[in-house]
């Protein structure tokens, strides 16, 4: 690879033997380089073809060197611990989050996510363990102190990456079920869901986890939530509870699976958040 220009110490524009331009990521890959210098393949940790159609390039080239360096280490650890594979989209999404996380920390801005922490611990225990390791890594490398809510955010990133293992048939069925549920929520609440919001993303992530287990007929254990808590949730959010009842009926009709009380409680929280705190 021939070096053309540097975006920062960890990102550079290069050209291969065929004259194709690439944006490459790697520790110190752009440091001290001049146009025409050789970039060793061993130093390249990730590459993006430099095309106008690849919208992720704008994100990659705008991120800090520290964010990219941390992301590389986080991806490596996550892949080893969870056996998942980050494609360029997942990598860029995580890197963008890390960069914003560092900015929030610098400006002392904290995104509170306490309401959802108890949920992710029960739903995604393996991912939570790794997310905690990632937070510890970032704190050590960047010399910062991060809020507990970052464990939740990073867990969702890991869950999203791990869900790219369905068959074509399962993906088609999953898409139809997701679309049906989202239509129910919109029609029953009269809300136009903001697909760019974080609450929407979390809702869809939760639905994917639930539906994939149902489609694959995986054993699902009851989380053992206090039944009184479930009743309190339904009393506190009666309108949202009615929407979830319709979702449960839809899933039962399409898959034969009956949602548990715990499932319904989780969905009440998600539907309420995506519609009220959109």
Mean pLDDT of the chain: 84
Q: What's the pLDDT at 47? A: 84
Specify if 234 maps to a domain. Answer: yes
Q: Give the pair of three-digit tokens for residue 200.
A: 């929407």
Q: What's the pLDDT at 77? A: 96
% of the chain residues with pLDDT over 90: 28
Alpha helical stretches, state H, 2-87:
56-62, 65-82
Q: Are residues 178 and 247 in the same domain?
A: yes
Q: Give the pair of three-digit tokens for residue 149.
A: 């809510």
Q: Give the pair of three-digit tokens for residue 226.
A: 């206090």
Interstrand relation of 2-8 and 21-25 (parallel, antiparallel or unpaired): unpaired
Q: Are residues 260 and 177 in the same domain?
A: yes
Q: What's the pLDDT at 174? A: 79
Range of the domain at 36: 2-52
The CATH number of whichever domain residue 9 belongs to comes to 2.30.24.10
Specify if 38 maps to a domain. Answer: yes
Q: Which residue has the tokens 């903001």?
A: 194
Q: Give, as one character, the DSSP assignment of residue 271.
A: H
Measured distance CA(228)–CA(234) in Å, rounded: 10
Measured distance CA(76)–CA(262) in Å, rounded: 34
Mean pLDDT value of segment 5-16: 84
Q: Are residues 174 and 271 in the same domain?
A: yes
Q: What's the pLDDT at 2? A: 87
Interstrand relation of 2-8 and 46-49 (parallel, antiparallel or unpaired): unpaired
Specify if 46 maps to a domain. Answer: yes
**Residue 168: is it exposed, middle or buried by C-beta count within 10 angstroms (0-12/13-18/19+)?**
exposed
Q: What's the pLDDT at 118? A: 59
Confidence of residue 139 (pLDDT cuts 50, 70, 90): very high
Task: Reply yes or no on whether the pLDDT at 255 is more than 90.
Answer: yes
- Domain stop point among 25, 52, 79: 52
Mean pLDDT value of segment 28-50: 83
Q: Give, as one character, the DSSP assignment of residue 8.
A: E
Q: Are residues 94 and 190 in the same domain?
A: no
Q: Is the pTM of this model over 0.75?
A: no
Q: Which residue has the tokens 């997942």?
A: 90
Q: How many CA atoms lie within 13 A of 124 on its CB side?
A: 30
The CATH number of whichever domain residue 199 belongs to comes to 1.10.1790.10
Specify if 57 maps to a domain. Answer: no
Specify if 59 maps to a domain. Answer: no
Q: What's the pLDDT at 218? A: 75
Mean pLDDT value of segment 222-240: 81
Q: Give, as one character, the DSSP assignment of residue 258.
A: P
SS3 category, 257: coil
Q: Are residues 172 and 241 in the same domain?
A: yes
- Domain stop point among 103, 127, 162: 162
Alpha helical stretches, state H, 83-215:
88-106, 114-123, 125-142, 149-162, 168-189, 198-215
Q: What's the pLDDT at 116? A: 55
| Cβ neighbours, 10 Å, residue 85 | 13
- Domain stop point among 113, 144, 162: 162
Domain count for the chain: 3
**Cα separation values, 193 from 10, 12, 136, 188, 269, Å:** 37, 38, 34, 12, 15
The answer to whether 262 touches 223, Cβ cutoff 8 Å, is: yes
């Amino acid at each position: 690879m021939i070096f053309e220009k540097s975006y920062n110490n960890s990102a550079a524009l290069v050209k291969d033997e065929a004259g194709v331009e690439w944006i490459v990521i790697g520790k110190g890959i752009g440091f001290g380089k001049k146009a025409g210098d050789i970039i060793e393949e061993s130093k390249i940790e990730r590459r993006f073809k430099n095309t106008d159609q690849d919208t992720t390039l704008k994100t990659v080239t705008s991120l800090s060197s520290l964010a990219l360096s941390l992301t590389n280490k986080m991806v490596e650890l996550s892949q080893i611990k969870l056996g998942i594979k980050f494609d360029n989209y997942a990598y860029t999404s995580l890197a963008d989050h890390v960069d914003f996380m560092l900015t929030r920390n610098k400006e002392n801005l904290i995104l509170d996510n306490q309401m959802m922490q108890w949920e992710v611990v029960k739903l995604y225990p393996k991912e939570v363990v790794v997310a905690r390791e990632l937070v510890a890594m970032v704190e050590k490398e960047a010399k910062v102190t991060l809020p507990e809510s970052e464990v939740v955010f990073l867990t969702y990133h890991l869950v999203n990456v791990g869900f790219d293992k369905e068959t074509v048939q399962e993906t088609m069925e999953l898409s139809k079920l997701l679309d049906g549920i989202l239509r129910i929520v919109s029609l029953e609440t009269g809300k136009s869901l903001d697909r760019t919001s974080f609450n929407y993303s979390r809702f869809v992530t939760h639905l994917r986890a639930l539906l994939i287990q149902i489609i694959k007929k995986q054993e699902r254990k009851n989380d053992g939530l206090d039944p009184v808590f479930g009743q309190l949730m339904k009393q506190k959010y009666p309108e949202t509870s009615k929407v979830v009842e319709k979702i449960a009926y839809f899933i039962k009709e399409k898959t034969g699976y009956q949602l548990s009380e715990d499932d319904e409680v989780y969905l009440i929280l998600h539907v309420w958040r995506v519609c009220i705190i959109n």
